[in-house]
Structure 1
Amino acid sequence: MASEHLDAEAEAAEQWQLVNTPLGGMWSGRTRYAAAMFFFKRGEINAETLEVYRICARLDHEDPLPIIRDRGVGKEWLTRMGA
């Protein structure tokens, strides 16, 4: 039971790094979107926020955070991201 908790924490830490993948790298938008899906499935981001990551998935240079802010969705997520 304790090892499952540690595994879940390790997975969440890895996904946190992935959702913060620097802009511009090849496949970085898709990487951020996949990580955002992880947090969506955990109930940590809403569907509107996930949609922004989906739109930006093929745009490796596009920062989803300003778009999330402009749309007025994911305020808790923006706070968590320090944006």
Structure 2
Amino acid sequence: MVDQQDDEAETAEQWQLVNTPLGEKWSGRTRYAAAMYFYKRGDMSAETLEVYRICARLDSENPLPIIRDRGTGQDWLKRMGV
């Protein structure tokens, strides 16, 4: 059983990873892996996760404008502060 403190630490780490700066090598894949964590927790829709998947190989591509343009993931965009 995962205790709350461990869960909070894992979530904080994944939050940092989903916010990996654009353009860093492997950053798209890093953001996608972290997005998968939030999807599995129920914090992200499948449509939003799909945008992260599409952007996974594009280290300089910001998934957030694409999510906004598709009209999905409004809760996620609010959480991201956009």
Residue 4 of structure 1 and its aligned partner are, at CA, apart by: 1.2
Matched to 1:54, the amino acid is: R
Matched to 1:44, the amino acid is: D
Matched to 1:30, the amino acid is: R
Matched, 1:18 2:20: no
* CA displacement, residues 6-29 of structure 1 (integer Å, 9 cap, x when unaligned): 000000000000000000000000
1:49 matched residue in structure 2: 48
CA RMSD of aligned residues (A): 1.1
Normalization by structure 1: what TM-score?
A: 0.96
Runs of 4+ in 1 over 3 A off after TM superposition: none
2:60 matched residue in structure 1: 61
2:76 matched residue in structure 1: 77
Q: Percent identity?
A: 76
Normalization by structure 2: what TM-score?
A: 0.97
Structure 1 residue runs of 5 or longer lacking an equivalent are none
Structure 2 residue runs of 5 or longer lacking an equivalent are none
